[in-house]
Structure 1
Amino acid sequence: MSVSLTLSLDAMGGDRAPDMVLKGIRIAHERHPRVRFLMHGNEAALRPVVAKDKTLAEVCEIRHTDSVVSGDEKPSQAVRRGRDSSLWRSIQAVKDGDAAGVVSAGNTGAFMAMAKLALRTLPGIDRPAIAALMPTQRGDCVMLDLGANAECDADNLVQFAIMGEVFGRTVLGLDNPNIGLLNIGTEDQKGTDALRQASAILRDSALPIRFHGFVEGDDIGKGTVDVIVTDGFTGNVALKAIEGTSKLYTSFLRRAFESSILSRLGYLLARPALNKVRMRADPRRYNGAMFLGLNGIAVKSHGGTDPLGFANAVCVAIDLISNGFNDTIRGEFMKVQRASGLNSQDLERAANG
């Protein structure tokens, strides 16, 4: 269903911006023709391309910015120096009510820091987390955090678990999603103090969620749990490892099928099945991770994605906005807190023993 709304975009964020962003908008427009786009970036680079495309000219508004947050810039520096950047202005448009949500493929740390500063967090949440869907043998699971918080304490992990559980119910449509903490083993004594403390809270408290316990890296692909909770450092490493392994085996298959005439003939026979596998595991289909816990819709696209991947990230934001996801997660999180009898201070005290 096509919806009418305005989406704010960081047109200069990403490895191949702004060309990738503009082509991605074109693809997204075909899926959502009633959505308008507020692009923030260098007008000299954007205006000529938009002017040549009648469709883009009708649905895009350009707001010039003088600077861009680089991919290697520290979040603290970006916050201090980047108030005139395309990233900051795109987030500010959501705060000012000019747009219903924001999408950027730029610097993850800077995006999170700026979004948290401008939009603030929902009640009871200390740190937002990047959440995204992952393919598994059983369907899809949601994993968080994927890079927003390199270091997390037990309180953060418990909050991530609550948000992930709500995400599983409202987005995946699961009645009672089960939660797992990513660890180096499933035994109770394994892992860091924060992991063990978070496990104790989730297992022993009155939180109305189904806690599976610890899960290991191979449980991600197995689909052992519906929600995988981890700190941003571990989650980002796991995500990149999964993406890299997918590309590795794709290259192995390509070389194997090109190795002989019989292999090429075999590829012709197997191509329909291989196409299904490629589509199922294509990381572009899963591009578009949401900053859960922010008081506003903010979606992070992979910095190295192509136009199709960026379009999918845009569509994630549109779907979240049109379905009132943030209102739902705000209400559900408050229900969970009330049902558990715990607030963020209680969780922190429990995490600290």
Structure 2
Amino acid sequence: MLTRSDAGADPVRCHGDDVTSKGALEAVVELKGLTKRYGELKAVDDVSLAIEPGEIFALLGPNGAGKTTMIGCVTGMITGFEGRAAVAGLDVVENYRVTRRMVGLVPQELNWDAFFTVRQVLEFQAGYFGVKPTRGEIDALLDQFSLLEKADANTRWLSGGMKRRLMICKALMHDPVVLFLDEPTAGVDVELRDELWGYVEALRERGTTIVLTTHYLEEAEKLADRVGIINQGRLLRVDDREALLEAFGRRHVSVTLSEIPSPQVLEALGPHQVEVEGRTLTLSYGQTEGDEGGEVDFFLRAIVGAGARVESVEGGRSSLETIFREVLHGDLAQKEAMR
């Protein structure tokens, strides 16, 4: 199989200027002012971004946000864009023969050759990149994705989950530096989704940089090192997953009582903003793990002091899904105010 050194550049030593909050870093994928127009529509609008070697970068956005278009510009599926896109420091337009060998793409749609066996599909896929894998190399890849026993089966008889795994195998046949996964778990069941997550984490451990688009916010929250939020072609926010959760998230504590809270309990809580739902009282507070303002302490003491009997206490923080919606709504509100 093609090794990364064969691709014409050392992916770890390439340099680029990061335009996110992290400052200068070595970038394996770099976008500068990337814009793709379809008539008056800007599918991608002046996007600048740098993706680090070996990370899992999740690109989040609603349908039509520009995620797939952005990936297409980097992988060569879409041309005629403005700005610059580079892989390992090499411009994807000027050096397309090299950069296209350095990227792998698993598209949203299942795409396979229905008249060939699983092994033949991978042999043909490798041939597109001038790679001549041995039978042992193909078997090793199939075994990694639990497809070895189907190696000589016609692809039309594979289940939907097996076809999804085969798509990933196809994208890995030339050992790409960067793997783009465009909605990889769309339409799969929960069990297969967990299985695919395991494959993604294993790929990252071997050093593959992964760019993931997804509608499943829990997927990004579990896998991603960094998260980018895109809407209407514009990149709204890029940050570490934990930093994003910390910056936008709020913590909460929920107390479930043995009975509906009495007026005395609610009065004891004073001015604190408490959500009441049945027997459960929920206090949202701050963004830090500590309770420096004593809000939680006051909340719990007030409930007990008012004579309420507590059945359970649970704590947590905002999910990435909540933050995602907050960022999108903030962007829409800003656009509305500018009209």
Q: TM-score, normalised by structure 1?
A: 0.28
Larger Rg: 2
Q: TM-score, normalised by structure 2?
A: 0.29
Higher relative contact order (CA 8 A, sep 6+): 1
Q: Which has the higher helix share?
A: 1
Q: Which has the higher strand share?
A: 2
